[in-house]
Amino acid sequence: MSSRTLPLLFINLGGEMLYILDQRLRAQNIPPDKAKKVMNDIITTMFNKKFLEELFKPQELYSKKALRTVFDRLAHASIMRLNQASMDKLYDLMTMAFKYQVLLCPRPRDLLLVSFNHMDAIKDFVKEAPTILGQVDETYQQLIEIYTPLSSGEFQLIRQTLLIFFQDMHIRVSIFLKDKVQNSNGRFVLPTTGIFSCNGEEVSRVQFPSGGNYSSALRQGSLEMFGDRVIKLGTNMYSVSRPVETHMSGASKNSGQNSKMTTPNPLAKEELNMLARLMGGLEVQKAGNTDNGFRVNLFATDEEEEEALMSRPDELSYRVLNIQATKDQQSDAALARIMGEFSEQGDPAPDTNSSKGDDLLAMMDMM
C-alpha cells in the first residue's frame, strides 16, 4: 500500500530498541563508557547516510523476516552481544510497543508525533556526540520535509499498511499488562473515554446511553524539529525499576497465523535486498575479536534466558536468514560505497591495501 511506510517503521522500531537497550545496559550495571559506546555505535549505524538514502526511497515494506534481520544486525553493530532468546524478546517488545502506538494514536497524522517522540529521545541519547547528533538532525529534517505535507488520507494509508504488518501479533508484554493497556489475550485495551480525534468547536453535547465518554480534542502537537509533541505515545516507558518482560506462552489463538507470514518463500532471498545487504555489511565486530565485548541479557537470569529459547513456540520463530554480505559480489559494491561514506565523515582513511572486510572493521574500530 503506502510506499512511504518503511522509514517510519524503521525509525520507531529502532527508537523502541534503544529504549530497551538503554534500560538493560543500566540494569546490568554495564560501565557507563561501554554503555555509551554501544548506544552511540548503534545510533551511528541506524542513521548512516547511505543507508537512510535507501530507506527513504518510496518502496513497499519488507517481509517480517527481512526486517528482523536488519534489526539483528543493528543490535550487534557495537561491542554488545545478545543471544537468540534475548534478541527474540527484544524484537517482540519493540514490535508490540510500536503496534500499540500505531493502534492508539488518535489521528493517523499523530504517527509523525510518535516518530518525533522517538527522534527526540534518540537525540537526547547522543547529545554529547555532535557528529552523531548531526546525522540524526539530518534525518529529522528529511522526515519533516517528506511527511508534513502529506494529507490525512495518506497518513491513514501509512497507518493501515503498518497495521497489516503487525496483524495477528498478540504477544503479551508485562509492562502493558501491569498498566492495564493490554488484556491477557494479547489484545490492546481501547479506551471508550478520553479525547476526540479531531479539533473543533463543541456546539452541543448529546450523550448516548453507554456510548462512551469523550472530552474535546487535544491540541495538535508540534511538527517542528523542536517543540511539544503533546501526545505521550512513543516516549520512553522503561526505567530500571520497570523491567522488560514478555509472556510467550498462551499467546492468543491467532498467533498461529504468524507462521504463515514467516514461512520461507521462494522470493525471500530477493526480499533481503539492498537494505539488508547494507546492514549486513555493517556487522563487523565479532564479540571474540575484542576484549571489550560483553553480553546483555533481556531476562533476569541466564537460566531464564535459556528456558525462553527452548520454550518459544515455533510459530513465533523468525528463522533469521543469515546474510553473508561479504561473500556476495553485489554487496561488495555496496560495502565499498559505505566505506567511501565513512571516510568522507572525516575519519582517517584506512589502509586501502588490506582486504575490504578488514578495512571496514578497522574503520568501525576507529569510530
Partner 1 sequence: MYHKEKSIQIKNSASALYNNLSVLRIAPRSITYFTVVHANTVSIISASWDGLNYSHRQLQSKEPNVATSTSLIMQAAWCILRSRELLVLTSQKGIQMYEADGSIMVYWHALEAPETPTAQAVFARGIAAVKENYVCVGLSSGGILVFDIPSKGDNIILCEMLEEHKESVTDMASECSGSQECIADMVSADDSGTLCVWKSGEESQLLNKITGFDMGCSSVKLWKGTVVAGYGTGQIRLYEAVTGILHAEVNAHARWIYSLDIAPFSGLLLSAAEDSFVRVWHLALTPESNSMEISHMYNECVTDTQICGAKFCDGDGYAFAVTGYDLGEIIRYTQT
Cβ 180 to partner 1, closest distance in Å? Answer: 12
Q: Which of 83, 84, 235, 257 binds partner 1 (CB under 8 A)?
A: 257
Q: 76 is written with which cell numbers?
A: 550487534
Cβ–Cβ < 8 Å for 101, 256:
no
Cβ 235 to partner 1, closest distance in Å? Answer: 21
200 binds partner 1 (CB under 8 A): yes
Concatenated DSSP letters of 188-216:
BPPPSEEE-SS--------PPTTS-EEEP
Which listed range, 28-36, 253-261, 285-293, 302-310, lies at the site for partner 1 (CB under 8 A)?
253-261
Q: What is the DSSP letter of 288?
A: G
214 binds partner 1 (CB under 8 A): yes
Residue (of 140, 72, 148, 77) closest to 109 by Cα position: 148
Residue (of 262, 267, 272) closest to 314 by Cα position: 262
210 binds partner 1 (CB under 8 A): yes
Cα–Cα distance, 147 to 154 (Å, whole number): 10
Count, residues in the chain: 367
Nearer to partner 1, 267 or 310 (CB): 267
Q: Which residue has the cell 537497550?
A: 21
Which listed range, 68-76, 78-86, 125-133, 252-260, lies at the site for partner 1 (CB under 8 A)?
252-260
287 binds partner 1 (CB under 8 A): no
Cβ–Cβ < 8 Å for 181, 90:
no
Cα–Cα distance, 25 to 28 (Å, whole number): 5
Interactions with partner 1, residue window 294-313 (CB under 8 A) = none
151 binds partner 1 (CB under 8 A): yes
192 binds partner 1 (CB under 8 A): yes
254 binds partner 1 (CB under 8 A): yes
CA distances from 80 to 22, 65, 72, 157, 167 (A): 12, 22, 12, 37, 31
User: Helical H runs in 246-286?
Assistant: 257-262, 268-271, 274-282
131 binds partner 1 (CB under 8 A): no
264 binds partner 1 (CB under 8 A): no
Which listed range, 137-145, 199-207, 227-235, 340-348, lies at the site for partner 1 (CB under 8 A)?
199-207
Q: Which of 79, 103, 121, 309 binds partner 1 (CB under 8 A)?
A: 103
194 binds partner 1 (CB under 8 A): yes
Cβ–Cβ < 8 Å for 363, 41:
no
Q: Which of 196, 304, 336, 345 binds partner 1 (CB under 8 A)?
A: 196
- Both ends of the chain: CA-CA distance in Å? 38
212 binds partner 1 (CB under 8 A): yes
Cβ 323 to partner 1, closest distance in Å? Answer: 19
Q: Which residues bind partner 1 (CB under 8 A)?
A: 1-4, 57-60, 103, 106-108, 151-154, 156-157, 159-161, 163-164, 167-168, 170, 183, 187-190, 192, 194-198, 200, 202, 206, 208-212, 214, 253-254, 257, 267, 271
